[in-house]
Amino acid sequence: MFEIVEWIVFIIGLILVTIGAICDLAGALGLLRFPNFFVRLHAATVGTIGGAVIPLFGVALIAAVSSQIGPFRWAVAGGAIITAILIMIIAPAGSHALAYAAHKAKIVPVEPKVCDLLEEYEKKKMEAKKK
């Protein structure tokens, strides 16, 4: 009974690692092929959340049931889960900070643009400061 549960957890971990590898390849291709920085942010999110968080959960599941690592397998599983949660918190924050800085310093053009509320707000603030 217990061996069957271990096998199921092992297979789920392998599936998560495979999904992560495919997402990582897709994110890398998108980061290379997309035309603009603000479009590339989408591919970067695929590469970090899909390609780093999901396989780390898979690594944690595999390490929790593999008996070859020995008594330290719970340390490996815990470290993998901690790293996954950290990346899940800090990757969107870092991407958002980079996008805000690139928009504010005007180093890359905002190319496919429908409306830019941040630019209008800053223009309004500058005019109010002049008066």
Distance set, CA 30 to CA 4, 22, 42 (Å): 39, 12, 8
When asked if residue 6 is in the footprint of other proteins (CB under 8 A), the reply is no
Choose which of 12, 73, 110, 119 interacts with other proteins (CB under 8 A). 73
CB of 13 to other proteins, least distance (A): 9
Contact segment (CB under 8 A) with other proteins among 23-31, 110-118, 122-130 equals 23-31
Q: Residue 61 interacts with other proteins (CB under 8 A)?
A: no
- Residue 40 or 131 with smaller CB distance to other proteins: 40
CA gap 29, 39 in Å, rounded: 13
Give residues with Cβ within 8 angstroms of 44, minimum separation 6: 27, 31, 95
* Maximal CA-CA distance, the chain: 77
Taking the complex as a whole, the smallest distance from the CB of residue 67 to other proteins amounts, in Å, to 10
* The only residue of 65, 79, 110, 119 in contact with other proteins, by rule CB under 8 A: 79
Cα 69-71-75 angle, rounded to 5 deg: 85
